[in-house]
Amino acid sequence: MDWFVKAFLKASLLWLVLGVSLGVAMAAHPVWTVHRTAHMHIVLLGFVTMMIFGVAYHVIPRFTGHPLHSRRAAVWHWWASNVGLVLMVGGFMTRAYAWRYGTPLRATGGALSAIGAYTFAYLAWRTIDGTASLRAAERRASELASNARGSGARLPLASVQSTREQS
């Protein structure tokens, strides 16, 4: 498992612990429900989406047979999403006390989180498509397989694999 996948999964678990703790705090002390939006974004953006990002970076390349479009961009994504969420939550919480920097903090964090989400959408999309050479290899392999089926011959698996490796 790639380290950035583990980092997304572990970040997700930490956000879950933080989010439910704030939830319990709000349940016990209703005045703190001023932090409802912070709680909500911690559990939804922190726990739910980070878990999805991590699992998706692991399974999409395996489902499609295409390597992840850019591992480096996935690492940048982790930083953008997590630093973004820290700032966003800070902004949500301090706005509740009318701190004048609450709004710019939330806006900066929100923009970083959004950049993270756009990066994910782009990377997942490009990974699903694969490169032109991989697509050509897949086409050739399926043509070979269907020709072999049509002629009744059994196609050795090694020839399909070597076609993929050549391209």
Q: Are 41 and 88 in contact (CB under 8 A)?
A: yes
At its nearest, how many Å lie between ligand HEM and the CB of residue 21?
A: 8
At its nearest, how many Å lie between ligand HEM and the CB of residue 162?
A: 44
Residue (49 or 82) nearer to ligand HEM, CB: 49
Q: Is 154 helix (H, G, I), strand (E, B) or coil?
A: coil
Candidates 79, 103, 106; CA nearest to 7 is 79
> Would you tell me which residues interact with ligand HEM (CB under 6 A)?
20, 23-24, 26-27, 33, 36-37, 39-41, 43-45, 48-49, 110, 113-114, 117
**Which of the 8 DSSP states describes residue 156?**
P
Amino acid of residue 114: A
Euclidean distance between CA atoms 140 and 148, whole angstroms: 12
Q: Is 70 left (phi over 0), alpha (psi -120 to 50) or beta?
A: beta
Residue (46 or 61) nearer to ligand HEM, CB: 46
At its nearest, how many Å lie between ligand HEM and the CB of residue 76?
A: 16
Residue (85 or 137) nearer to ligand HEM, CB: 85
| Position closest to ligand HEM via CB | 23
